């Protein structure tokens, strides 16, 4: 009986770990898409003009 309980607990742990890893992969994929979208929306220009706009006021 103890062996069946231990086997059941092992199955639950493995299933939980697999579910967690799957959820983390999905979260990483969503964050990657958001990062790429933000990079494409902002553009490649990172000069003084964008810094002044980003931080509120310019220093010069």
Residues 6+ apart with CB under 8 A from 52: 58
Q: How far apart are CA 12 and CA 15, in angstroms?
A: 5
Q: How far apart are CA 19 and CA 25, in angstroms?
A: 10
Split at pLDDT 50, 70, 90, the class of 60 is low
Element (H, E) at 23: helix 2-42
Q: How far apart are CA 23 and CA 17, in angstroms?
A: 10
pLDDT tens for each residue of 9-55:
888 888 888 888 888 888 999 998 998 888 888 766 555 555 555 55
pLDDT at 45: 57
């Amino acid at each position: 009986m103890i062996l069946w309980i231990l086997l059941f607990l092992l199955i639950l742990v493995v299933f939980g770990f697999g579910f967690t890893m799957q959820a983390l992969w999905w979260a990483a994929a969503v964050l990657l898409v958001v990062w790429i979208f933000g990079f494409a929306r902002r553009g490649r220009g990172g000069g003084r003009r964008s810094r002044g706009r980003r931080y509120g006021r310019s220093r010069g």
